[in-house]
Structure 1
Amino acid sequence: MISIYILTYNEELDIAACIESAMLSDDIIVVDSCSSDRTVEIANRYRVRVVEHAFESHGRQRTWMLENIQPKYDWVYILEADERMTPELFAECIAASKSNSQYIAYYVAERVMFMNSWIRRSTQYPRYQLRLFRHGKVWFSDYGHTEREVCDGATSFLKETYPHYTSGKGLSRWIDKHNRYSTDEARETVNQLQHGSVKWRDLFLGNSEVERRRALKDLSLRLPGRPIIRFIYMYFLLGGCLDGRAGFAWCTLQAFYEYLILLKVWEIKNMAPTHTEPKTLETLNKS
């Protein structure tokens, strides 16, 4: 058996379906970032552990979770509220946890579901995320709006995939969320341009899709016209034009997201923060 962590924040629309997909395990832990909606209320209807912890960042939340909430089993799986566990993936996770191999963690490919369609081509499928690992062997650090894993041992890949419902709460929620993400990505862009570098060997000869994708990400931060390049790359080179109407919408939104990042990079570099002194009764009387 494996334990399953579910990360949540204001997920009342998704949390029930997510928990029900995970109930193949008898140890489900919902880690909530102090939601203001009915997420915790709904989660408490199920036989799960619910723990609330104020959100600082994606990397810190995951590391806090792993260090402070002891799972029932040695192997754990991280599931987000808009993702689903499948019986086939769960069975492969169990088999991997029993294999006695040298691997301490496994990457799993996501199937991005958008506008009721699987966006197979323009999402660089198969795009892998680290999801299954031996507890105590993996930690997380922040990178942009998301996180990167730090693994104490060898890793491998599972064959089964999981669905990721990226627009299940509506396009307004998607846009609001990516507006917040773009702020973190802009800060990370500035940091990488000042202190980072492109790992050219990983870009062409990386040992895995994860290494190649990260090197491509570092390169993309240095390219001019990133929004246009990203749209052309996703829609034409990756074949997003074959993903239909949903594919066009996906590629357009990703290009817009890239443009937001660039605007906020310019803002960070060129606009000093303003500090307005609070008006007191004395200053008001003088004016």
Structure 2
Amino acid sequence: MISIYILTYNEQVDIAECIESVINLSDEVIVVDSYSSDRTVEIASHYPVKVVQHEFESHGKQRTWMLKNIPTKNKWVYILEADERMTPELFDECVAASQSNEAIGYYVAERVIFMGRWIRRSTQYPRYQMRLFKKGEVWFGDYGHTEREIYSGAIDFLKETYPHYTSGKGLSRWIDKHNRYSTDEAKETLYQLQQGGVNWKKLLFGSTEVERRRALKNLSLRIPLRPVVRWFYMYFILGGILDGKAGFAWCTLQAFYEYLILLKVDELRETNLESPYPNSLKYPDPEESPNTSESLSL
């Protein structure tokens, strides 16, 4: 079997459906809550799940803390967020993968559901996230508003996907959340512009979609008029125009998000603030793995 972690913070709208999507599949479901102020914990407590609360610092640190401090019945674990759902087909593939001993972790592609529609084209589907892995073999570090997985060993990709309901709590919540995210992304952008670079080899000849996407992001940070370029690229090149009204809204909001990041980068420069990420990809326990590989899903 596979143990399931569900990460939550004020998820009273989604938590019930998320738990119900997996409760009859896994023999262990653990809700890791960041001290929600709504009914998230109350609702979760109605189900046969374990609820653990821990103060949120960052996405990477929260994942590292739960992996180190919350024991599980099973060696293999899957990370699920409250606005995502597990499917029986995906769970079956996860179980089969965990028994194969061919890899220590697996990427899974998301299907972004926005305004009630699968945004297949302008989200660059398939877009992968590290979700299934052997506990103790994969860790997480911070990168911008999100996290990067850090591992040492073979990884692979699953064929099944999971639905991600990005606007289930309404557009106001989406906008508020991305306003917060843009602050962390601005800090990481500033650091990457000062210390990073473009890996052209991985961009052109990367062995996986994850490698190519990460290199593409590093390139995109250096493109003039990035918000405009991103909107044009998503809407016309990727085919967002075929995703209907929801596709237009998605591309426009993503371009606005990029513009907000750029404004905050300028603000950081004007206030002479340094990026807080000089070691943003430090392994949680450096002595445990001096030679690690890492990848990013954007």
For the criterion TM > 0.5, the same-fold answer is yes
Correspondence for 1:263: 263
Q: What is the 5 A alignment of 1:130-279?
A: 130-271=130-271
TM-score (norm. length: structure 2):
0.90
Q: What is the 5 A alignment of 1:43-82?
A: 43-82=44-83
Shift in Å at residue 272 of structure 1?
A: 5.3
Q: Separation in 2 of the partners of 1:12 and 1:26?
A: 23
TM-score (norm. length: structure 1):
0.94
| Larger RCO (CA under 8 A, 6+ residues apart) | 2
Q: Separation in 2 of the partners of 1:30 and 1:199?
A: 38
Q: Separation in 2 of the partners of 1:2 and 1:189?
A: 36
Correspondence for 2:26: 25
Give the ranges of 4+ consecutive aligned residues of structure 1 lying more than 6 Å apart after TM superposition: none
Shift in Å at residue 225 of structure 1?
A: 0.3
- Unaligned residue ranges in structure 1 (runs of 5+): 274-287
Q: Which has the larger radius of gyration?
A: 1
The secondary structure found in structure 2 opposite 1:62 is: helix
**Equivalent position amino acid for 1:207 in 2:** S
Correspondence for 1:284: none
The secondary structure found in structure 2 opposite 1:22 is: coil
The secondary structure found in structure 2 opposite 1:55 is: coil
The secondary structure found in structure 2 opposite 1:169 is: coil
> In percent, how many aligned pairs have the same letter?
75
**Equivalent position amino acid for 2:100 in 1:** S
Q: Separation in 2 of the partners of 1:272 and 1:76?
A: 42
The secondary structure found in structure 2 opposite 1:72 is: coil
Correspondence for 2:284: none
The secondary structure found in structure 1 opposite 2:10 is: coil
Over the residues paired in the alignment, what is the CA RMSD in angstroms? 0.8
Shift in Å at residue 154 of structure 1?
A: 0.6
The secondary structure found in structure 1 opposite 2:104 is: strand
Q: Separation in 2 of the partners of 1:223 and 1:35?
A: 39
**Equivalent position amino acid for 2:90 in 1:** L
Correspondence for 2:287: none
Range with bigger deviation, 215-224 or 171-180? 215-224
| Number of positions where the alignment pairs a residue of Structure 1 with one of Structure 2 | 272
- Unaligned residue ranges in structure 2 (runs of 5+): 274-298
Shift in Å at residue 100 of structure 1?
A: 2.6
The secondary structure found in structure 2 opposite 1:132 is: strand
Q: Separation in 2 of the partners of 1:172 and 1:204?
A: 38
Q: Separation in 2 of the partners of 1:48 and 1:243?
A: 37
